[in-house]
Amino acid sequence: MAEFSIIDSYFNRRNLNSVDLGVGDDSAVLTPPPQQQLVICTDTSVAGRHFPLETDPHAIGWKSVAVNLSDIAAMGATPHSILLALSLPQIDHAWLKAFSQGLYDCCDQFGVSLIGGDTTQSPHLTISITALGWVDSGQAIPRSGAQPGDLICVSGTVGDAAFALNHPGHPLQQRLDYPSPRCQLGVALKGLAHSMIDVSDGLAQDLGHILQASQVGATLALDKLPLSPALHTLRDEQKWQYALAGGDDYELCFTISPQNYEKLLQKQIDVSISIIGTVHSSLGLTFEKNGIDHLLQFNGYQHFA
> How near is the Cβ of 250 to ligand ADP at its closest, in Å?
23
4 is a contact residue toward Mg ion (CB under 5 A): no
Q: Which partner, Mg ion, ligand ADP, none, binds residue 24 by CB below 5 to 8 Å per kind?
A: ligand ADP
> How near is the Cβ of 1 to ligand ADP at its closest, in Å?
11
Size of the site for Mg ion (CB under 5 A): 1
Site residues (CB under 5 A) for Mg ion, limited to 111-130? 118
- Part of the chain binding ligand ADP (CB under 6 A), chosen from 47-55, 114-122, 234-242, 255-263: 114-122
Q: Which partner, Mg ion, ligand ADP, none, binds residue 75 by CB below 5 to 8 Å per kind?
A: none
The residue within the footprint of ligand ADP, chosen from 5, 24, 262, 267 (CB under 6 A), is: 24
178 in Cβ contact with 302 (< 8 Å): no
163 is a contact residue toward ligand ADP (CB under 6 A): no
> How near is the Cβ of 57 to ligand ADP at its closest, in Å?
14
281 in Cβ contact with 217 (< 8 Å): yes
Q: Is the Cβ of residue 20 or residue 236 nearer to ligand ADP in the bound state? A: 20
d(CA 281, CA 35): 35
Q: Which partner, ligand ADP, Mg ion, none, binds residue 96 by CB below 5 to 8 Å per kind?
A: none
The residue within the footprint of ligand ADP, chosen from 1, 14, 25, 169 (CB under 6 A), is: 25
Q: Which partner, ligand ADP, Mg ion, none, binds residue 119 by CB below 5 to 8 Å per kind?
A: ligand ADP
Q: Is the Cβ of residue 85 or residue 285 nearer to ligand ADP in the bound state? A: 85
d(CA 246, CA 203): 8
Residues that bind Mg ion (CB under 5 A): 118
Residues that bind ligand ADP (CB under 6 A): 7, 11, 23-26, 84, 86, 114, 116-119
